[in-house]
Structure 1
Amino acid sequence: MARPNKDGLDYFPLDIDFSTNAKTEAIMGEFGAKGVLFMIYLLSAVYRKGYYLQWDKLQQMQLVNRVNGLSPEMTDQIVARLVAYGTFDKELFSSVRVLTSQRIQDTYLDATKRRKQPKPTLYWINVNNNSSSEGVNVDINPQSKGKKSKVNKSNKNPSRPKRDKPVYDENSDYLKLAEFLFEKIQDNDPQAKKPNLQHWADDMRKLVELDKRDKHEVSVIIKWCQQDPFWSTNILSAAKLRKQFTMLALQKKNEGKTRQSKVTRKETLPDWADHNQQCSNDKQKDLTDDQKAKLAEQLAELNKTEVKGDA
């Protein structure tokens, strides 16, 4: 007996900056922590089904019972906000109360690309994804006679949509890091040509998400390297910054240690000078008060004698 097709996913990716995402912070500000927890439960329900969720009373009450202090009215409000924010497709929700999005469907396609099952069509936003065709393309039919046509081998899976490159808005931390780097480059070279900041922002994302570098650390290294005589002439793009980041971080750290050692270093005397100074101090410490007074009297008498001789 053949194994039945599996619709849903076992897990789904959650962005590393989920907690600081503008949509998450908006839900947190209006509904509190229970609103954010509901968001996670809602996304889990979508991916458990596959790539969409029919938002009805049954689904609503199931999720309400999972979050303490949540009410059905509040879940409706949160869903309405997420639709307005673009987390879910507005047209599908308004027409058939289905929760899905282009990003959710792309994630589902990527996770199920090894499954041997037809591509989904129900509530599918990108209609070109449907791999089934009512007609037969005779140009690629192996049984057709005549001259063979050339097939574009670069597109081996025409049913799968081409994934667009991410676009970073003006509030994106990655775009801000890219702009900060270009600003510091311009401080050294006002005539520097403005690059594609979207490409630079994507390199910044890779530096943070893939290379596990802290955003604040990245900004500190950007400022430091553009003040360094050597690195300011070599780090002229976000890609180069990412490539050399480990070396930059180590060199900055070692430079800090060198400066600290210079500040705290004490000047030392030669051994012989230190020894003579110590002996002199020790001799002065050995005299008693009476001996010091007697020595002072002797010096006074000696001065009187020298005065008389001069006269």
Structure 2
Amino acid sequence: MARPQKNGLEYFALDVVLSDEVELIEAEHGLEGFAILIKMFQKIYSQGYYYEWDEKQKILFSNKVSSDRNLVVSVIEDCVRWGIFNKDLYEKYSILTSKRAQNHYITAIYKRVNVQMIEEYLLVDVSDKKNIEVYKISGEKGVCNGVSDDGNEETSTVSDGESTQSKSKVKVKVNKESNNTNAFEFYQQNFGIINSFLSEEISLWIDDLSEELVIEAMKRGLEQNKRNWGYVKSILKSWHSTNVKSIQDVKAEDVQFQKRQDTKKQKNRVDKLPKCMDKPEKSINIPEVSESEKQRLQKMIAELKSTQKLNET
């Protein structure tokens, strides 16, 4: 008998270091507010990548977490206000989701087949995900394009890596083609299994720079035979410090780096003098000769010349 298709995740990871937005929730609502947020994450991931937040669900959720309904509603509204959940989708469809939550969900279910997602709720591009089928709210077949998420900073601190949902090891094959893959899949194919902490870090760098630059940094790690995230992150940090925003910026930075290297090599090509040439020349002191001594020497020279002529004859 076939196993039933699962929509949600069985578990998720909670980061040790929380974002400022999550700390704001705890600061305003105390530990109970923080607990409500964690319970909401549990609810979202248990169902998939979003949770409907209408009046019925507000009552049921408040009862489930044993908290005052007004407090629960206030906490969730602040979560939307601080960007933990997407404001546009909350106001338009009364759902709670975020770009990061969707990225984690997609990463975690990469081995599942025929996963259904709703086009109007999407904040990420899933056009390259062969295991995902996109449908409209009406039930019609949708288009696999993500929705812009300009108004959401995505500060959720919950993450789900592929390794947290699958305990089987995957053989790594080198694949430098990234035209039809995202950063998570590229890492999985070329570096190794992604854990929850790494999944969160990759998401952060995608938000700070771009997915294209994250993949480019991974490619450069492969070119240098550095198959570890630490090396890739050092490249990303360097680009971030120099305000690199695109592949064109990376190429321009490469040109400037090469110029700096060439200048450095030219400075190191100065020929060193031999040690003997480094010593200053010693001056020779010639003593003065008296007039009588000069005459004596001249007489001796004359006698030597005279003797030499006699010998020749």
Alignment TM-score > 0.5, same fold: no
Taking CA–CA contacts closer than 8 Å with sequence separation of 6 or more, which of the two structures ends up with the larger relative contact order?
2
TM-score by length of 2: 0.43
TM-score by length of 1: 0.43
Give the structure with the higher percent helix: 1
